[in-house]
Structure 1
Amino acid sequence: MPLVPRTSEEKRKILNRLKRVAGQVHGIEKMVDEDRYCVDILIQLSAIQAALKKISFSVLERHAKSCVTKAVKEGRGEEQINELVNVLKHFK
């Protein structure tokens, strides 16, 4: 199936969010190195998990609205839906 390219705006938003997460991870590395309080580290880890879930949902939504919709219109919906369901099994 040919890929449906993301728009420049979609890419920009995803990349900016990922860069923020990378910054948060770096901050946690520093916290651990400085022997910061465990609860403070856990709070930051929770924030990273929430940010990654938000990014994942954004990518998922785009995939469903573009790739899966296109596949359904082309008669390949079952294949794409099965693929999507299998991917969703990785999210807990």
Structure 2
Amino acid sequence: MSDLTPDDPGYVVADDKAALLKRLRRVEGQVRGIQRMVEDDTYCLDVLTQVTAVKRALEKVSLLLVDDHLRGCVLDAAKSGDDESAEAHLTEATNAIARLLKA
């Protein structure tokens, strides 16, 4: 987790939160579907195809979260004139992106 604690940890646009929740519910359903496929002894390559779909869906969620962080926390810190805070938020974003790329 982050050492930084934003004053407003919400999302830039309320619709972003709704979109994220909708995507996460879809992922949850996909994961349940994969569980059923394994229980039903579905052909392994078909299961792997669904795992790939879940991975891509989570990558989209990650990109939305990075975008919100950049447009929210980083931009707000930069606008505030607090160079130290802005630099810390940029470093935090860069580290998060690096973790995403390693995954």
TM-score (norm 1): 0.91
* Alignment of structure 1 residues 47-58 onto 2, 5 Å: 47-58=53-64
Give the unaligned 5+ runs of structure 2: 1-5
User: Aligned match of 1:73 in 68, 79, 86?
Assistant: 79
Aligned with residue 86 of structure 1, among 82, 95, 101:
95
Aligned-pair RMSD on alpha carbons? Answer: 1.2
Distance 2:41 2:49 in 1: 15
1:18 alignment partner AA: L
Say whether residues 1:20 and 2:26 are aligned partners: yes
How far does residue 4 in structure 1 lie from its aligned partner after superposition?
4.6
> After TM superposition, what 4+ stretches of structure 1 lie above 2 angstroms from structure 2?
4-8
Aligned length: 92
TM-superposed CA distance for 1:90, in Å, is 1.3
Gap regions ≥5 residues in structure 1: none
Letter in 2 for 1:78: E
Q: Taking structure 2 as the reference length, what is the TM-score of the superposition? A: 0.82
* Alpha-carbon separation, structure 2, partners of 1:27 and 1:11: 24
